[in-house]
Structure 1
Amino acid sequence: MPAICARTARWTAGLLLGLSAVMGCGGGEAAGRVRMAPPELPLIREGVVELPDGYAERVGISVVSAHYEDVTPVVHVTGVLEFDAQRLAAVGSRIAGRVADVAVIEGSKVEVGQVLGTLVSAELGTAQADIAAMEARLIAARRDVERKQSLLAEGITSQRELDMAVSAAAIAEAQLRAARQRVAALAGAPGKHKLGTNALTSPIAGDVVEVQVSRGQAVVPSHTAFMIADRSSLWVRLAVFEGELLHVQPGDPVELTPTLRPDQAFAGVVEFVAVALDPMTRSAEVRVVVDNSSGMLRAGQAVHANIRPASAQRRAVVVPRQAVIQIEGAPIVFVASGERTFEMRKVTLGVGDFERVEVKAGLQLDERVAVSGVFALKGELYR
């Protein structure tokens, strides 16, 4: 009996010692948690955010001063490159005929006057034969004049006979001019080829972008056989909305970037601004001319265009665009009113570009605004 009591006492003592150890460890952690003070949080008082010490560094808040600077608005639109209509040439036949030969294919480079293809036409052949007949008739008429002049000098003929011969020569000459003009109207110019053959030539130097005929094909005057484009200059037609069109004028610089290659920027110039708005879209066409001497650009490419209206440029109080956020639909900046205090302030914005924006009201020159960590400050307002 005493042995059992001794064992029971030892077991109870061990259990109590173990529980004390466990409770001691847990109590130490709890004590540590109590001793670890939670980080201080910003305080919000009537739109002013008061930051605890070190908070600005932790969330990366930095400030800059509002300052005067020349600022130009940017009108951002998208468009598609196309051929310059003033550097395009549609080549076709002026008469009905049949294609005898096609000398070029799409992509061929051609010079002014280069033959693109040839046609044969019975109508042209008849007109060209008339020229030969008129030339022979004129030669005979002029010789008759010379003979009548000699006979008149010898007294063998009369002045009336000479006058009639001169008149006949003049008529023959007029008929020859008419025949030549008819051939020119049918074929563009007197041909050096055989009768009835018309050579279609390029009126400009450039690239063949369309070939719409083949050998043996019958064509009519309304059919366009070839399209030639001078790609050294291209157009971009942009649809600019009414509100952004106010300051856009011919001569304004334009920066363009291909949609699929934003790293390849190129320059253009506004050439034309439409005088009327589209009643459905409330936009107007703005035509931009792009230099393509390098030949790197292609018609049909989609591009982003940034128009910088020179007439809207002015000196104004500006801040970085990233300093401005929207709260309940209004533009807001956080103004540094002290070392660790920021005042939420509504501002009125003016013109701007992608990096800067004019502040027309709500901010004074040299006041400091937050430019990074702005969304952390905004988040504190809704905490």
Structure 2
Amino acid sequence: MTAGLLLGLSAVAGCGGGEAAGREKAAPPDLPVIRDGVVELPAGYADRVGISVAPAHYEDVRPVVHVTGVLEFDAQRLAAVGSRIAGRVADVDVIEGSKVEAGEVLGTMVSAELGTAQADIAAVEARVLAAKRDVERKRSLLAEGITSQRELDLAISSAAMFEAQLRAARQRVVALASAPAKGKLGINALTSPISGDVVGVHVSRGQAVVPSHTAFMIADRRSLWVRLSVFEGELVHVQAGDPVELTPTNHPEEAFAGVVEFVSVGLDPMTRSAEVRVVVDNSSGKLRAGQAVHANIRPASAQRRAVVVPRQAVIQIDGAPIVFVAMNERTFEMRKVTLGVGDFERVEVRDGLREDEQVAVSGVFALKGELYR
């Protein structure tokens, strides 16, 4: 039994010694070495993690202010149509979505007040006609010596008074109905002042309306607005005339051109932002009011020529922007830089990097990870 126990212990000891020997023979993997902010890579490591470099170079660059907003109708191409007098709707000639031209009839109303004003025109016209005939008669009588000059002057004065009353009656009808009297008395035609789309119909046949009621809304959708809230820090370079690229949130592959038309002169004290109004060309008709969009404002006044690098070359370490500068194929220096303006793809480096220095543009996070290993 003693002999068997010794043989078993010898076997166990032999197995343990073999594993230990195997661990000693296995070579440790090649890993980067970091000395004083310089990362030295082992052979083949850059290819394994996909590190590539690109040179810093001078290029025109300007910032991009990215905000979101909602499209709305251009207030200068929007018209609210209603009656200037109280009445009842006789007919509605359009529906929401109808396309109309300027001057086209949208609906008609019946108004007793308008009928009275139109009837007054006919009455005054009769008085004017009678007064003119009286003037001609008095002239003939004066030539025959039957009447006096004073009688003729009184007739001329009376005719002038009636003509003034006629002009006033006609202007009253225009003021009530926005158009001269035509056709049946008391009928008021509501017409569109602009060409565009009917975007709102707020009346129906037989409905009684008052002057404060908006019956129709017409919009020229060839131009739209988007009001953007831009924070104080990004507002400094934005000005009227700056180009804007807009993409619908539900169709980011489509882009539309716009231009800054107005920058508010005051800031919202709560949000520290200001309104920037952008006019968007919608000749294609693809955009709709109420649609959410992403807007990229490119301030022209901030454009300058500077040393730039791809944005993915810059990482943040302890809150500071850092790039990895290639000293040679296997050595990278971690260097702090000062950034300036930039867009989504490039960024200006104001300090810390010279033109033509090579920086890592891919595999950057692998290099950053070595700093914390």
Q: Normalising by structure 1, what TM-score?
A: 0.92
Shift of 1:338: 3.0
1:151-230 alignment runs, 5 A limit: 151-230=141-220
Q: Which residue of 2 aligns with 1:253?
A: 243
* 2:182 aligned partner, one-letter code: K
Q: 1:58 aligns with which of 48, 68, 73?
A: 48
Correspondence 1:335 to 2:325: yes
Correspondence 1:41 to 2:13: no
Greater shift, 140-149 or 54-63, is seen at 54-63
* Counterpart Cα distance in 2 of 1:263 and 1:63: 30
Correspondence 1:113 to 2:91: no
Shift of 1:36: 3.1
Shift of 1:30: 6.0
* Counterpart Cα distance in 1 of 2:306 and 2:322: 18
2:328 is paired with a residue whose SS is coil
* Counterpart Cα distance in 1 of 2:8 and 2:195: 101
1:107-142 deviations in whole A, cap 9, x for unaligned? 111111111111111111111010000000000000
Shift of 1:16: 11
Shift of 1:18: 11
* Identical-pair percentage: 86
* Counterpart Cα distance in 2 of 1:18 and 1:258: 78
* Counterpart Cα distance in 1 of 2:9 and 2:291: 79
* 1:227 aligned partner, one-letter code: M
Q: Confirm or deny: 8 A CA contact 1:191 1:199 kept in the other structure.
A: no
2:366 is paired with a residue whose SS is helix
* Counterpart Cα distance in 2 of 1:356 and 1:20: 68
Q: Which residue of 2 aligns with 1:9?
A: none
Q: Which residue of 2 aligns with 1:303?
A: 293
- For structure 1, the 5+ residue unaligned runs are 1-11
1:370 is paired with a residue whose SS is strand
Q: 1:134 aligns with which of 124, 132, 156?
A: 124
* Counterpart Cα distance in 1 of 2:125 and 2:332: 98
1:1-40 alignment runs, 5 A limit: 31=21, 33-40=23-30
* Counterpart Cα distance in 1 of 2:222 and 2:10: 92
* Counterpart Cα distance in 2 of 1:131 and 1:207: 35
Q: 2:284 aligns with which of 274, 280, 294?
A: 294
Q: 1:319 aligns with which of 299, 304, 309?
A: 309
Q: Confirm or deny: 8 A CA contact 1:239 1:286 kept in the other structure.
A: yes
Q: Which residue of 1 aligns with 2:360?
A: 370
Shift of 1:59: 0.8
Q: Which residue of 2 aligns with 1:77?
A: 67
1:359 is paired with a residue whose SS is strand
Q: Confirm or deny: 8 A CA contact 1:89 1:227 kept in the other structure.
A: yes
* 1:284 aligned partner, one-letter code: A
Q: 1:361 aligns with which of 348, 351, 368?
A: 351
Q: Which residue of 2 aligns with 1:345?
A: 335
* Counterpart Cα distance in 2 of 1:191 and 1:131: 9
1:178 is paired with a residue whose SS is helix
Shift of 1:21: 9.8
1:318-360 deviations in whole A, cap 9, x for unaligned? 1100010011111111111233121111111000000000001
* 2:99 aligned partner, one-letter code: K
Shift of 1:202: 0.3
Aligned length: 373
Shift of 1:193: 2.6
1:185 is paired with a residue whose SS is helix
* Counterpart Cα distance in 1 of 2:22 and 2:45: 24
Greater shift, 236-245 or 45-54, is seen at 45-54
Superposed CA RMSD: 2.1
Shift of 1:279: 1.4
Q: Confirm or deny: 8 A CA contact 1:69 1:316 kept in the other structure.
A: yes
Q: Normalising by structure 2, what TM-score?
A: 0.95
* 1:226 aligned partner, one-letter code: F
Q: 2:229 aligns with which of 239, 244, 248?
A: 239
* Counterpart Cα distance in 2 of 1:382 and 1:132: 97
* Counterpart Cα distance in 2 of 1:282 and 1:341: 46
